[in-house]
Amino acid sequence: MMFERLRPLGDRVLVKCIELEQEVLASGLIIPDTAKEKAQTAQVIAVGGGKMDATGKLAPLTVKVGDVVFLGKYAGTQAGNDHMIVREDEILGIVEKN
């Protein structure tokens, strides 16, 4: 299933989980993916139209397609092997590049 074609609704965001760097212990041992917790960084693939505020106006989302974001540990709903749908308020921050 191609989740890049899924359009989230409201304040939801479709993200693809990514690893920023491979985890290697001081001894040089690489931790396999099966022993790791789920990734907490993801790239935004698609965003919904926004969230209704108290006055009924549509407030646009802060994140945009292409942003790399940091998620809460238990955030989102799985939408395939490496995709998740999260609410914007489950996103803890945008990872900025130096």
pLDDT of residue 64: 94
What would the CATH number be for the domain defined by 3-20+36-94?
A: 2.30.33.40
- Based on C-alpha coordinates, what's the Rg of the chain? 15
Cα–Cα distance for residue pair 69/88, rounded to 1 Å:
10
pLDDT at 44 over 60: yes
Per-domain boundaries in the chain: 3-20+36-94
| HSE of 67, CA atoms in CB hemisphere, 13 A | 19
Taking CA 46 as the corner, what is the angle to CA 45 and CA 50, rounded to the nearest 5 degrees? 145
Alpha helix positions (H), the chain? none
Q: Which has the higher per-residue pLDDT, 84 or 20? A: 84
Q: pTM score, two decimals?
A: 0.75
pLDDT at 47 over 80: yes
